[in-house]
Amino acid sequence: MTALCDLELPARNFVDLAKSLNISISHGRFSEALNDKARLDDETGTALIELLSELSAVREKFRDIPINWGATEKIATLVILERVTRICAELDQPIAVHR
């Protein structure tokens, strides 16, 4: 929960973002996991941790701009762009922008 608080990201918006990025999680299941009433499977837990890391990178990149975490599709697009940027850097390839 600390990472969500650090990002000022409501849990509901986090779950919506995760779902839009094809992570299988429900609001109820996430709430249960946060309250130690259920355990997430390893695959889901790992995917959520990776998403938090990506959201932190997005937040850092746009630190001077307020982020509306409720704009799920726009935030998901930023996460995908962050993934592309990271992969291009790992492959030592420039990012090709087509207009």
Provide mean pLDDT across the span 4-20.
Answer: 95
Provide mean pLDDT across the span 66-82.
Answer: 94
Q: Are 7 and 59 in contact (CB under 8 A)?
A: yes
Could you give the count of Cα atoms lying within 13 Å of 66 in the half-sphere of its Cβ? Answer: 2
CA dist., res. 43 & res. 79, Å (int): 19
Segments in the chain forming alpha helices (H): 2-7, 11-20, 27-34, 42-61, 72-90
**What pLDDT shows up at residue 98?**
62
pTM: 0.86
Model confidence pLDDT, tens digit, residues 30-71 = 999 999 999 999 999 999 999 999 999 999 999 999 999 999
